[in-house]
């Protein structure tokens, strides 16, 4: 045993010497949509392109002023169709329902491209020199059916007493997040949510003081992983608004995590969005004077279809839906034979199996007098399978202070032959070795991605498995 342990330590040390220097895996740039003269803000993924707000189309024929006599400039919605990761077709002003003479945008859409939600001023203004006095914003819906965009319908809770804005629709289309200064909040603008239940949007609920503060929290963006991004003037902002995210666990959002430079700066950084794979993100910032749009993206192209690691759960609740309590006389009771040696006599059962397998489940009716089987009520086969997914472990390197070793695990990938391994450590560094060594310079919460490419042995076809796991570094140390 001592020789084997020594050999493993020597092997790890030699691997460490052979590793190339970690690669920078991300690019950061101002995208060509941006201008020096106008303000571009609030990017959104929309029908294969990037929708955004801009005040470029301000019409000099129309002049609006607030109650203090100050001229107001409004933004419109524009769309930039992407040619590839760095090039865009000519930007065009969105027409139809999307733009009016007042503020239009931001916009959001569900994953099926069926439901649109956008922010607009509530009141419609006519005339050339109408004066705008505290015209509140609300959110509005439109549906896409047969390539036709429907007329707008107002959110039930819009009001002339407060603003509702910056709506973000969950990809499933059933949860809506937005910012509002309605009464009952923690101060300024707070983030709220509403759920679509039985054909109606529920009354808005404040997301709580883990995220909301006495200052402003705006521009929520809900990712399909359950992670909520938002901008805040609080939470130890570097200056102005900074971008944060909070991961939901159970029914609550966790303490916000501040994104690092170059995303956050000492200027206003706002309206962050990121694709489903967590590799391609956009946001707005006024760090160069006017509001511009920036892109922060992985230069590793293999990180597609990445999914968060899911712990296998072998626990189930058993009950007989077609057999009510009143069908049983006082002389009878239910017995569940769970197919793994466990037999339980009660109406419903919560049970955890040891692992994957095929289990023959039986529901028997027992005679209380004889304590014997009266009859068999139901029989069915339960097949439990492992989730086919890649995995990895991270552990401390005993030979180097504060360094971690990352090891892949392909045991849950059936009849798959791995070939290449690509690591993205979530801090702008990556690696292409099977076993990787990495040291984090700063504390934080990091999404580590492992992409394994290879082929299925049965079909000889190429495929990949990409997994995401979140790790926490605190006081320069890994917290498992």
CA distance 266 to 310: 37
Cα–Cα separations (whole angstroms), residue 357 to 44, 318, 348, 382, 386: 44, 17, 22, 8, 9
State how far the Cα of 71 lies from the Cα of 132, in Å rounded to an integer.
9
Identify which of 266, 185, 184 has the alpha carbon closest to the alpha carbon of residue 233.
Answer: 266
pLDDT value at residue 342: 94
The confidence score (pLDDT) of residue 133 equals: 52
Q: Tokens 């509001």 belong to which residue? A: 291
Predicted pLDDT at 332: 83
Please report the domains of the chain, with CATH numbers, ordered by start residue: 26-298 (2.120.10.30), 315-384 (2.60.40.10), 391-479 (2.60.40.10)
The one-digit pLDDT tens for each residue of the chain (480 residues) are: 333 333 333 333 333 333 334 455 678 999 988 888 899 999 999 988 999 999 886 554 455 555 665 556 688 999 998 776 667 777 788 888 898 878 899 999 999 999 999 999 887 665 555 555 568 999 999 999 988 999 999 999 999 999 999 999 999 999 999 999 999 999 999 999 999 998 999 999 999 999 999 999 999 999 988 899 999 999 989 889 999 999 887 778 888 989 988 999 999 999 999 998 888 899 999 999 999 999 998 776 567 778 889 888 889 988 876 655 555 556 788 899 999 999 999 888 999 998 889 999 999 988 888 888 888 888 989 999 888 899 999 999 888 888 899 999 888 888 899 999 999 998 878 888 899 999 898 888 899 999 999 999 989 998 889 999 999 888 767 776
Is 15 exposed, middle or buried (CB count within 10 Å of its CB: 0-12, 13-18, 19+)?
Answer: middle
Q: Reply yes or no: is the peptide bond before residue 106 cis, omega within 30 of 0.
A: yes
* pTM confidence score: 0.71
Tell me, letter by letter, the H, E, C secondary structure of the chain. Answer: CHHHHHHHHHHHHHHHHHCCCCEECEEEEECCCCCCCCCEEEEEEECCEEEEEECCCCCCCCCCECCCCCECCCCEEEEEEECCCCCECCCEECCHHHCCCCCEEEEEECCCCCEEEEEEECCCCCCCCCCCCCCCEEEEEEEEECCEECCCEECCCCCCCCCEEEEEECCCCCEEEEEECCCCCCCCCEEEEEEEECCEECCCEECCCCCCCCCCEEEEEECCCCEEEEEECCCCCCCCCEEEEEEEECCEECCCEECCCCCCCCCCEEEEEECCCCCEEEEEEEEECEEEEEEEEECCCCCCCCEECCCCCCEEEECCCCCCHHHCCCCEEEEEECCCCCEECCCCEEEECCCCEEEEEEEEEEECCCCEEEEEEEEEEEEECCCCCCEEEEEECCCCCCEEEEEEECCCCCCEEEEEEEEECCCCEEECCCCEEEECCCCEEEEEEEEEEEEECCCCCEEEEEEEEEEEEECCEEEC
pLDDT for residue 131 = 55
- Res 17: pLDDT: 30
CB 320 within 8 A of CB 377: yes
pLDDT of res. 302: 65
Which pLDDT belongs to residue 245?
Answer: 93
Q: With contact defined as beta carbons under 8 Å apart, do 125 and 132 qualify?
A: yes
Specify the pLDDT at position 324. 54
pLDDT at 301: 57
């Amino acid at each position: 045993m001592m020789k084997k342990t020594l050999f493993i330590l020597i092997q790890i040390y030699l691997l460490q010497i052979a590793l190339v220097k970690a690669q920078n895996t991300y690019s950061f740039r101002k995208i060509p949509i941006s201008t020096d003269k106008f303000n571009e803000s609030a990017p959104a993924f929309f029908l294969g392109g990037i929708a955004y707000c801009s005040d470029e189309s301000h019409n000099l024929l129309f002049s609006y002023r607030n109650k203090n006599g100050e001229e107001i400039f409004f933004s419109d919605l524009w769309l930039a169709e992407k040619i590839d990761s760095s090039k865009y077709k000519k930007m065009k002003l969105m027409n139809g329902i999307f733009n009016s003479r007042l503020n239009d945008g931001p916009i959001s859409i569900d994953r099926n491209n069926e439901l649109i939600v956008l922010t607009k001023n509530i009141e419609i203004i006519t005339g050339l020199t109408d004066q705008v006095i505290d015209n509140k914003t609300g959110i509005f819906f439109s549906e896409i059916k047969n390539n036709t965009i429907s007329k707008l319908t107002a959110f039930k809770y819009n009001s002339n007493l407060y603003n509702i804005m910056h709506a973000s629709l969950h990809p499933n289309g059933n949860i809506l997040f937005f910012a509002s200064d309605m009464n009952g909040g923690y101060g300024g603008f707070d983030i709220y949510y509403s759920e679509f239940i039985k054909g109606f949007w529920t009354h808005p609920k404040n997301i709580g003081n883990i995220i909301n503060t006495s200052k402003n929290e705006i521009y929520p963006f809900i990712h399909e992983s359950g992670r909520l991004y938002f901008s805040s003037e609080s939470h130890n902002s570097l200056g102005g608004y900074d971008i944060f995210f909070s991961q939901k666990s159970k029914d609550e959002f966790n303490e916000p995590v501040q994104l690092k430079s170059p995303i956050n700066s000492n200027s206003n950084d706002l309206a962050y969005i990121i694709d489903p794979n967590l590799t391609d993100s956009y946001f707005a910032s006024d760090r160069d004077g006017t509001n511009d749009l920036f892109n922060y993206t992985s230069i590793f192209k293999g990180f597609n279809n990445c999914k968060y690691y899911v712990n296998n759960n072998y626990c189930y609740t058993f009950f007989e839906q077609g057999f009510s309590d009143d069908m049983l006389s006082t002389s009878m009771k239910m017995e569940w034979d769970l197919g793994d040696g466990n037999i339980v006599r009660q109406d419903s059962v919560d049970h955890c199996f040891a692992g994957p397998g095929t289990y023959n489940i039986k529901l028997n009716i027992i005679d209380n007098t004889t304590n014997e089987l009266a009859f068999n009520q139901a029989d069915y086969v339960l097949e439990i399978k492992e989730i086919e997914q890649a995995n990895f472990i991270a552990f401390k390197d005993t030979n180097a202070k504060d360094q971690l070793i990352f090891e892949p695990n392909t045991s849950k990938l059936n009849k798959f032959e791995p070939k290449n391994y690509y690591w993205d450590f979530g801090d702008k560094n990556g690696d292409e070795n099977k076993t990787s060594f990495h040291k984090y310079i700063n504390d934080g919460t990091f999404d580590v991605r492992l992409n394994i490419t290879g082929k299925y042995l049965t079909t000889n076809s190429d495929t990949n498995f990409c997994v995401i796991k979140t790790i926490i570094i605190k006081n320069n140390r890994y917290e498992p």
